[in-house]
Structure 1
Amino acid sequence: MSAPARTVESRIGAAAQKITATALGPYQSAVIRIGFAGTWLLFLLREFPHRQELYGPDGPWGWDMAQQLVADNHAFTALMWSDSQVWFACVYVGAMLVAALLMVGWRTRTMSVLFMIGVLSLQNRSVFVGDGGDNVIHLMSIYLIFTRCGQVWSLDARRRARGADRIAEDRVGPVLWWAVGLALSALTFTGEVSGGWLSLFWALWAVQGVWWYLDRRAPHGDPRLLCDVVANLAHNAALLVIMVEACLIYATAGWYKIQGSRWQDGTAVYYPLHLDYFSPWPALGDLLTAYGPMVLLVTYGTVAVQVAFPFTVFNRRVKNVLLVLMITEHLFIAVALGLPFFSLAMITADAVFLPTSFLRRVGGWAARARGRVLDRTKSAAVPGQRTADGAEPAVEETSAART
């Protein structure tokens, strides 16, 4: 075999080894977990006063119409199991609780599945009240269940760092697994869930049980290593799908914009800034559109960035520049057009392309800031205790000391 052929073969072998032995992008997948769970949680909190009109029995999209639509498209939604107010409240509050637990990384394998159930249950109940951001969360909630998104920046990672003894002593995991199994058994018996969704839930439940058993009984055996390989392959494939999905979103948006006459003549950005529905700050819209060449530049720049981004993902420097531009664009949309949750969802999708070194640096900044806050809290609680920098905290003079 010639030297070039051996070189190619060795590179292929090294790539295959890396894909099977490592869950790639641990920081990117953690950002996706935190970002989408946080975005969904903030959305549900903001819409809590309006939850009945959006997804509840009192909404304009009535129970009968929702049943007909679900029966036609076979979408999954737990809100179709009952039309009572109590059940709706349980699902809505449960979706918020699961989003918070997934965001902090507590039992991420189970919470990612429950998060998907919460997202699909609410969104599929009233499919006509969402926007582009809801569609992104809808898709990403499905992809998340195949990722190992709790490797870093999670309570699960902290528990694993404490050693194998803590894993062996774990009691919460088995109890949670049995509770989910009982719930699945009840749903199977009543027939509320059937077909592909039921098979998926049982398969995920069984995989979780096998994983826990091997983690406890044979953490270094061949079956456990095989599970790691399969999990890494699923994670890397899901991460690739998320990246491709983000590229498709920008590519299709850019190419559709090119076909519009307002985007061609450079005036498209002007109109949404003067619509009452998208103008939380009318004075800001007037200011941003007062200079015609700026409107032209922003309009053409938006199209150029969206069309070009999928072709630059393999060029690190150009990709990073376009990422900054796209994140800036979404921040502008959040403020000027009053679409914060759409922007948060898209920024989170963009984060999958952020460099690992940058994410680790941000994580270090966050850890140091958290440490300073905790040190100050402890110092305030215990007078005379020294802070992290060795200085003794100042103590206020009392009126007796001054006299």
Structure 2
Amino acid sequence: MSRFAPTVARGIARVTESALGPYQSAVIRIGFAATWLLFLLREYPHRQEMYGPDGPWSWDLARQLVASNHAFTVLVWTDSQMWFETVYALAALTGALLLVGWRTRTMSVIFMIGVLSLQNRSVFMGDGGDNVLHLMSIYLVFTRCGQVWSLDARRDRRAREARARGERPRPDRAGPALWAGFGVVLAVATGAGRIDGGVLGGWLTVLWGLWAVQGLWWTVGRVARTAEPRVLLDVVANLVHNAALMIIMAEACLIYATAGWYKIQGSRWQDGTAVYYPLHLESFSPWPALSDLLSAHGTIVMLVTYGTVVVQVAFPFTLFNRRVKNVLLAAMMTEHAVIAVVLGLPFFSLAMIAADAVFLPTSFLLRLGGLVARARGGLFPRGGRTVPGPREPEPGVPEESGRTHVGFTA
């Protein structure tokens, strides 16, 4: 037993001292926020039919369903057209703000509220990508997804630089204002009985708990005279983040494993017609000529059919072999990109690619971030200087090792 003590101690230190996968969690944040924002913008002309008070799935039906399954949506609070337009606009706005990483702790909560409100309003809208977005919007609330590639990270860096120069950082006014405003809205909704208490308080407990934790974090950070309370909260936040990141990884593996094993049992995937028939459906043929070209070659249909099944079934078993995992990851992302173009399912594909991003190697993400930074510097030069790429991970945010964490192998 003593032989394993140092390994256990290192493992405990690793998951408590830092929030693992800062670049992976940032890519997940950016990916799902961009997917949601693009979806809302694309469907803006059709928003009334999809989620509006006068849609085919009426407000009364939605209210009855929510009362029976205890799902959360603010769109059943009232059937006012103005309320619907406000919620839709706020959902798009929070998607954009989460994308750039502005106040990610607060925006991730409001982002989740927007996703759940619209999707639970009309449960028969959407596809598998919406289910993934639905779940990931909840998981994102518990991650520290603004550590890098965000406006929050830039603000924190400037505050540290100001302290290093002996200057006092600019006071934070936006954070307390958001917290107070969110508390007022929660108080009004609670007093009006709009939020379902459910079992153990349900969403009422969740939302008030998140609000209280945010207030506690801010208070301890500015009032505590010693470092111990801040360190304790930081350890708890790291544990919650790392657990949420592991759940995201497990969710992605579960999606592929169940999809692959169900495909094995189906005769349509055994004889190849599961790929052939959708290519000839009008609803899934935005480019008929391209669909006809692909379906005309039996070899291509066979390779896509069996390749899809093999990759989905095998992927969860390859996580401990970084080279094989990276190859299958590239194959799955390529497959989703092809689905987006050939079958006309861009948002489903974007959601799946965003979920797959949790397994991307840190070294690849650093190179990708450098390319984006250089491209941004070329388009928007600042005083003739080149915009620097992402910095190397700081001591509190170590770069992941391929030997110790299956999700972040290089």
Whether these two folds match at TM > 0.5 is yes
Question: Structure 1 residues 39 and 219 mapped into 2: Cα distance closer, same or farther (>3 Å)?
Answer: farther
Output one character per residue of 1:8-42: Cα deviation in whole Å (capped at 9) or x when no partner: 11011000001011100000000000000110000
2:287 corresponds to which of 272, 281, 304: 281
1:351 corresponds to which of 354, 357, 364: 357
Instruction: Determine if contact 2:70/2:196 at 8 Å carries over to the other structure.
Output: no
Counterpart of 1:258, as a letter, is: I
1:400: which partner in 2? none
Q: CA deviation at 1:219?
A: 7.8
1:112 corresponds to which of 71, 92, 108: 108
Identity %: 70
2:66 corresponds to which of 35, 58, 70: 70
Counterparts of 1:252 and 1:189, CA distance in 2: 43
1:139 corresponds to which of 110, 127, 135: 135
Q: CA deviation at 1:134?
A: 0.3
Q: CA deviation at 1:217?
A: 2.5
Counterparts of 2:178 and 2:75, CA distance in 1: 22
Counterpart of 1:98, as a letter, is: T
More displaced stretch, 39-48 vs 58-67: 58-67
2:10: which partner in 1? 14
Q: CA deviation at 1:64?
A: 1.2
Q: CA deviation at 1:50?
A: 0.1
TM-score between the two structures when normalised by the length of structure 2:
0.90
Q: CA deviation at 1:259?
A: 1.1
Q: CA deviation at 1:267?
A: 3.0
Counterparts of 2:187 and 2:97, CA distance in 1: 24
Counterparts of 2:2 and 2:205, CA distance in 1: 44
2:118: which partner in 1? 122
Question: Structure 1 residues 35 and 219 mapped into 2: Cα distance closer, same or farther (>3 Å)?
Answer: farther
Determine if the alignment matches structure 1 residue 48 to structure 2 residue 44: yes
Counterpart of 1:117, as a letter, is: I
Counterparts of 2:93 and 2:269, CA distance in 1: 42
Alignment of 1:3-402 (within 5 A): 5-164=1-160, 169-195=171-197, 196-218=202-224, 221-375=227-381
Counterpart of 1:186, as a letter, is: V
User: Aligned pairs, how many?
Assistant: 377
Counterparts of 1:226 and 1:388, CA distance in 2: 39
Q: CA deviation at 1:56?
A: 0.3
Counterpart of 2:147, as a letter, is: Q
Counterparts of 1:124 and 1:46, CA distance in 2: 19
More displaced stretch, 233-242 vs 264-273: 264-273
Q: CA deviation at 1:220?
A: 5.7
Counterparts of 1:122 and 1:364, CA distance in 2: 36
**Secondary structure of residue in 1 paired with 2:319:** coil
Counterparts of 2:357 and 2:225, CA distance in 1: 33
Counterparts of 2:25 and 2:175, CA distance in 1: 22
Output one character per residue of 1:146-173: Cα deviation in whole Å (capped at 9) or x when no partner: 0000000000000100125676611111
Larger-Rg structure? 1
Question: Structure 1 residues 14 and 387 mapped into 2: Cα distance closer, same or farther (>3 Å)?
Answer: closer
Counterparts of 1:345 and 1:8, CA distance in 2: 40
Counterparts of 1:162 and 1:202, CA distance in 2: 31
**Secondary structure of residue in 1 paired with 2:195:** coil
Instruction: Determine if contact 2:108/2:137 at 8 Å carries over to the other structure.
Output: yes
Counterpart of 1:245, as a letter, is: E
Instruction: Determine if contact 1:41/1:96 at 8 Å carries over to the other structure.
Output: yes
Instruction: Determine if contact 2:374/2:386 at 8 Å carries over to the other structure.
Output: no
Counterpart of 1:352, as a letter, is: V
**Which consecutive residues of structure 2, in runs of 5 or more, have no partner in the other structure?**
388-410
Question: Structure 1 residues 178 and 387 mapped into 2: Cα distance closer, same or farther (>3 Å)?
Answer: closer
**Secondary structure of residue in 2 paired with 1:27:** helix
Q: CA deviation at 1:297?
A: 1.2
Question: Structure 1 residues 354 and 219 mapped into 2: Cα distance closer, same or farther (>3 Å)?
Answer: farther
Counterparts of 1:16 and 1:163, CA distance in 2: 30
TM-score between the two structures when normalised by the length of structure 1:
0.91
Counterpart of 1:316, as a letter, is: R
Counterparts of 2:5 and 2:250, CA distance in 1: 27
Q: CA RMSD in A?
A: 1.5
Q: CA deviation at 1:227?
A: 0.3
Counterparts of 2:65 and 2:29, CA distance in 1: 30
